[in-house]
């Protein structure tokens, strides 16, 4: 495990749940070593989460022949270096999203895992919200018919304060060098991954971005510096299937904390989902008898719905952390069967291409082709 922050906790929790809730898996994770740049942190994390060892140098994990898999939960600027070295050392890799800061950085990561033939996955965890997986099943069944529209939002409000510094521990998301971009790589990357998984490739994009607070104090240098990230981004696009897409992400939507929503409109039916009510899927079917036709609110908690039978009785809910358990379980299941665990680095590279086209479009005020092959 590389990192001891938010995602390190979410993933470690997932690994610890597998044996109890997915007992049939042939392979089980052993929490070997945790790495953090800050010595005290690695040690405290190892003690709390029951890792056998801790270190401040991630290279030690690659040199350890007992370690089979590396989980990258560090900021975006170190994903490529660690992943390429880990692939070279023959380790399986589970990498947090976005794959990297740029396509230029991400492509060699894909090349490295392919050349080494090591299993890999990227934690676009929202695919494994049961309601979102159910949406995928309904869409794939063809019930929606021809698709006309896909729209998604990811709205937050935590960077409105101009006094908030950029950079450094916990604030690396505001630092262009560490993050690579602002809301595009952080929030829209999730929306784009889900969108292409549900609705196919995005062909071209037209975007606007805005940086509302132009200068912030940098936590590491102590200097007031230009802000390089996009605070907000809106783009529209064409999907390969001919439908139109509309996406928005911001950290300036006062009152919104992590409002990820999507809606897809087809000829016969529509679906919408909202992270703030993640166990529900809303579904409208125009084929319903007209006097009862309307939006259904499906409480996704029945044992025949995706992943649910692993957990509790119908009607009671699961939460955010379960998305990571599901992803980890799918990874270990793939390890047993020899299948690829989607999204792989290769798929995450396609999301990276869309993010890059979005930023290029905003910078040049022009439509950009994504070059995505989905």
Ligand X SMILES: NC(=O)c1ccc[n+]([C@@H]2O[C@H](COP(=O)([O-])OP(=O)(O)OC[C@H]3O[C@@H](n4cnc5c(N)ncnc54)[C@H](O)[C@@H]3O)[C@@H](O)[C@H]2O)c1
| Residues between 211 and 250 with contacts to ligand X, criterion CB under 6 A | none
The phi-psi region of residue 214 (left if phi > 0; otherwise alpha if psi is between -120 and 50; otherwise beta) is: alpha
The DSSP output letter for 211 is -
Q: Given the rule CB under 6 A, which of 25-33, 67-75, 273-281, 359-367 is the region that contacts ligand X?
A: 67-75
State the nearest-atom distance from the C-beta of 11 to ligand X, in Å: 9
The residues near 364 (Cβ < 8 Å, ≥ 6 apart) are none
Report the nearest approach of ligand X to the CB of residue 106 (Å). 12
DSSP, collapsed to helix, strand or coil, labels residue 43 as helix
**Max CA separation in the chain (angstroms):** 67
For residue 278 the two structure tokens come to 């993640």
Q: Report the residue closest to ligand X, judged by CB.
A: 5
With respect to ligand X, which residue has the nearer C-beta, 189 or 372?
189
Q: How far is CA 23 from CA 12, 20, 328, 329, 334, in A?
A: 17, 6, 13, 10, 15
Binding status of residue 258 toward ligand X by CB under 6 A: no
Residue closer to ligand X, measured from CB, 96 or 175: 96
Question: Under rule CB under 6 A, which residues in 75-134 are in contact with ligand X?
Answer: 75-76, 78, 96-97, 123, 125
User: Do residues 231 and 247 lie in contact, with contact meaning Cβ atoms separated by under 8 Å?
Assistant: no
- The least distance separating ligand X from the CB of residue 134, rounded to whole angstroms, comes to 19
User: Distance (Å, rounded) from C-alpha 272 to C-alpha 292?
Assistant: 19
Binding of ligand X by 192 (CB under 6 A): no
Query: What are phi and psi for residue 36, nearest 5 degrees?
Result: -140, 150
Evaluated on CA atoms 293, 297, 303, 309, the torsion sign reads positive
How far is the CA of 312 from the CAs of 123, 176, 190, in angstroms? 24, 42, 27
Determine if 33 is a binding residue for ligand X (CB under 6 A): no
Segment contacting ligand X (CB under 6 A): 30-38, 149-157, 229-237, 264-272? Answer: 30-38
Q: Are 144 and 365 in contact (CB under 8 A)?
A: no
How many angstroms separate the CA atoms of 189 and 354, rounded? 8
Residue 96: which residues within 8 A CB-CB, separation 6 or more?
7, 72, 73, 74, 79, 122, 123
Min dist. Cβ of residue 181 to ligand X (A): 11
Site for ligand X in 307-336 (CB under 6 A): none
In the set 36, 121, 153, 181, which binds ligand X (CB under 6 A)? 36
- Here's the x/- map for ligand X, 134-173, by CB under 6 A: it reads as ------------------------------------x-x-
Q: Closer to ligand X at the Cβ: 89 or 298? A: 89
Whichever of 73 and 362 has its CB closer to ligand X, that residue is 73
For residues 35 and 349, which CB has a smaller minimum distance to ligand X in the complex? 35
Q: How far is the CB of 6 from ligand X (least distance, A)?
A: 4
**Smallest gap, in angstroms, from Cβ of residue 142 to ligand X?**
30
Nearest to 253 by CA among 156, 363, 139: 156
Q: Contact between 73 and ligand X (CB under 6 A)?
A: yes
25 and 329 Cβ atoms separated by less than 8 Å: yes
Size, binding site for ligand X by CB under 6 A: 23
Which residue's CB is nearer to ligand X, number 10 or number 144?
10
**Smaller CB distance to ligand X: residue 136 or 369?**
136
Nearer to ligand X, 97 or 238 (CB): 97
Residues 2-21 that bind ligand X (CB under 6 A): 2-7
Site of interaction with ligand X (CB under 6 A): 2-7, 35-38, 58, 73-76, 78, 96-97, 123, 125, 170, 172, 186
């Amino acid at each position: 495990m590389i990192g001891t922050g938010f995602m390190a906790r979410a993933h470690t929790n997932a690994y610890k749940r597998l044996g109890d809730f997915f007992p049939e898996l042939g392979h089980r994770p052993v929490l070997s070593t945790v790495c953090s740049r800050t010595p005290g942190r690695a040690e405290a994390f190892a003690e709390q989460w029951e890792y056998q060892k801790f270190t401040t140098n991630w290279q030690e994990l690659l040199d350890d022949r007992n370690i089979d898999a590396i989980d990258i939960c560090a900021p975006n600027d170190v994903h490529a270096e660690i992943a390429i070295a880990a692939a070279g050392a023959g380790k399986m890799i589970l990498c947090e999203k976005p794959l990297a800061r740029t396509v230029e950085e991400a492509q060699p990561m894909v090349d490295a895992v392919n050349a080494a033939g090591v299993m890999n996955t990227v934690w676009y965890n929202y695919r494994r919200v049961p309601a979102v997986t159910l949406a995928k099943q309904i869409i794939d069944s063809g019930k929606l018919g021809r698709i006309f529209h896909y729209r998604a939002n990811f709205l937050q409000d935590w960077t409105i304060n101009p006094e908030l510094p950029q950079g450094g521990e916990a604030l690396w998301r505001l630092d262009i060098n560490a993050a690579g971009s602002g809301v595009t790589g952080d929030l829209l990357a999730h929306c784009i991954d889900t969108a292409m998984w549900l609705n196919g490739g995005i062909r071209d994009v037209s975007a606007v971005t805005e940086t509302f607070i132009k200068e912030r104090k940098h936590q590491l240098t102590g200097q007031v510096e230009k802000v390089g990230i996009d605070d907000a981004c809106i783009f529209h696009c064409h999907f390969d299937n001919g439908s139109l897409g509309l996406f928005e992400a911001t950290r300036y939507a006062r009152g919104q904390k992590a409002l990820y929503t999507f809606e897809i409109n087809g000829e016969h039916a529509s679906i919408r989902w909202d992270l703030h009510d993640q166990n529900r899927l809303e579904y409208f079917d125009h084929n319903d008898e007209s006097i009862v036709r309307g939006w259904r609110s499906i409480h996704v908690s029945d044992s025949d719905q995706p992943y649910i039978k692993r957990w509790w009785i119908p009607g009671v809910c699961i939460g955010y952390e379960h998305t990571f358990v599901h992803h980890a379980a799918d990874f270990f299941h793939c390890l047993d069967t020899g299948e690829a665990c989607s999204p792989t680095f290769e798929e995450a590279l396609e999301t990276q291409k869309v993010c890059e086209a979005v930023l290029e479009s905003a910078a040049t005020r022009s439509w950009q082709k994504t070059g995505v092959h989905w």
